[in-house]
């Protein structure tokens, strides 16, 4: 069965650079969620989109922005990267409030 696809899987950036993470939800899923998981931490909700509109906002820094496109894929844009942004970034998708299924994650390392 098709799963959530995230790209890239690994990313290394330097401080103050920008990064864009992409998420392709499971086909026919209309909701996308972004989570940040620091080392040894539980996933922290960042932001979600339903039918291309932002539906919920969690602990997303102002330096980050995200959007969902007409094909339901989503992109998380991260600017002015800081060392503390190094983490695993998960995208999850669901079909109208059903179970969230997670992608494999993008591991971001900021040097």
Pairwise CA distance, residues 7 & 5, whole Å: 7
Class of residue 104 by CB neighbours under 10 A (exposed 0-12, middle 13-18, buried 19+): middle
Q: According to the binding rule CB under 8 A, does residue 45 interact with other proteins?
A: yes
Among residues 36, 48, 68, 93, the one that binds other proteins under rule CB under 8 A? 48
Among residues 5, 13, 22, 50, the one that binds other proteins under rule CB under 8 A? 50
Residue span binding other proteins (CB under 8 A) among the ranges 12-20, 21-29, 45-53, 75-83: 45-53
Q: Residue 12 or 80: which CB sits closer to other proteins? A: 12
Pairwise CA distance, residues 72 & 81, whole Å: 26
Distances (CA, A) of 109 to 24, 28, 30, 31: 22, 32, 29, 27
Instruction: List residues binding other proteins (CB under 8 A).
Output: 31, 33, 35, 41-45, 48, 50, 55-56, 58, 88, 90, 92, 97, 99-105
């Amino acid at each position: 069965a098709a799963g959530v696809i995230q790209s890239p899987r690994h990313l290394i950036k330097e401080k103050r650079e920008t990064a864009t993470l992409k998420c392709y939800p499971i086909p026919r899923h209309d909701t996308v969620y972004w989570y940040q998981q620091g080392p040894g931490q539980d996933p922290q909700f960042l932001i979600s989109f339903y039918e291309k509109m932002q539906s919920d906002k969690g602990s997303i820094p102002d330096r980050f922005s995200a959007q969902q496109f007409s094909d339901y894929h989503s992109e998380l844009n991260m600017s002015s990267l800081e060392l503390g942004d190094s983490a695993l970034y998960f995208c999850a998708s669901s079909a109208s409030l059903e179970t969230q299924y997670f992608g494999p994650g993008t591991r971001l390392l900021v040097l």
